[in-house]
Amino acid sequence: MRRVGIIGLGNVGATAAFNLFTHGYCDEIVLLDVNEAKMQAEAIDLLDTLPVNEHEVKVYYGDWDKLGEADVIIAGFGVKVTSSSEELAINSRNARSVGEKIKASGFNGVIINIANPCDVITTVLQRTTELPKNRVFGIGTMLDSVRLRRVISEKLKLNSKQIGGFVLGEHGLCDFIAWSTVNHDFSENEQAEIAKQAKENAEKLIGGKGFTNWAVTSAAMELVRSVLTDEHFYTVCSVYVEEYGIYLGFPAVIGKHGVEKIAQLSLSSDEELRLQEAVALIKEHLTKID
């Protein structure tokens, strides 16, 4: 029996629950949220789909002990605030509380974090649960990379699955396109145009609906599926890179044990500098919550 826990039922958490329920990725779901009325309502709404759902899925809610037998936990408990410093303070505090409850449940699976600031929160969850670093990772710059690939695919009029390339670094203020990882060549002007378009698309999205849920959830589902099926999916996410001593957006292979392998990249000198800047920023953020 494949069991997945979801902590936090906001826009992304609830969308993730629906995807798990309708795509047959797991047999059991555990829903957890501080808002008990919403948690119960989401469970009821999901259960009401059973008569027309292709898959039979059991739903638990409100019981942290049920996480003990889960294979994967999606951590999506982040509080949306306007200040990045406030987000860091509140979500890191919440991460410690959540991590302690996960640890108390006896959970020994894989945690996938989608709460922001992703790299810092992933660090807090790993430290608090004391799980091996490879079994705790975050979505990181995966969404940024997906957005990049979409823009490139439209420019080249190719299927987006034919496009390779990663955004690395700190998911937030200090990420960057590693053009050395992109499998198509572009001039500097074209690179600038693509980067601008990807940024503008994200701004229009947030400006228009106030949040993102479809793309980030789809990315998270790929990570969940990769763990449950041991796919060994090569992607970029927030992983612990020993060389830098922190979690940051970097390519890795995802399988049943979480992070199976960290990629070896040949970055340009400029890209390496940008990565070091991201490392410094993440470490600075960590000092503020220690």
4: helix, strand or coil: strand
User: Is the pLDDT score of 197 beyond 80?
Assistant: yes
Q: Give the domain ranges of the chain.
A: 3-138, 141-288
List 21's β-bridge partners, or say none: none
Side-chain-facing half-sphere of 259: CA atoms under 13 Å: 28
13 is in an annotated binding site: yes
Domains 3-138 and 141-288 share a fold: no
What CA–CA distances, in Å, run from 22 to 9, 31, 51, 58, 222? 17, 15, 12, 12, 14
91 is in an annotated binding site: yes
223 is in an annotated binding site: no
Question: Which of these is catalytic: 23, 55, 171, 257?
Answer: 171
User: Is the pLDDT score of 82 beyond 80?
Assistant: no
- Please state which CATH class domain 141-288 belongs to: alpha beta
For the segment 96-102, the average pLDDT, to the nearest whole number, is 98
Q: 113-162: per-residue pLDDT in tens? A: 999 999 999 999 999 999 999 999 999 999 999 999 999 999 999 999 99
List 247's β-bridge partners, or say none: 240
List 73's β-bridge partners, or say none: 5, 111
List 28's β-bridge partners, or say none: 3, 58
Q: 236-252: per-residue pLDDT in tens? A: 999 999 999 999 999 99
111 is in an annotated binding site: no
Amino acid at 100: E
CA distance 38 to 47: 14
Mean pLDDT of the chain: 96
Angle CA 211–238–156, to nearest 5? 70
pLDDT for the residue 79: 79
What global pTM score does this model have?
0.96
251: helix, strand or coil: strand
Query: Does domain 3-138 match CATH 3.40.50.720?
Result: yes
List 251's β-bridge partners, or say none: 236
| 232 a catalytic residue | no
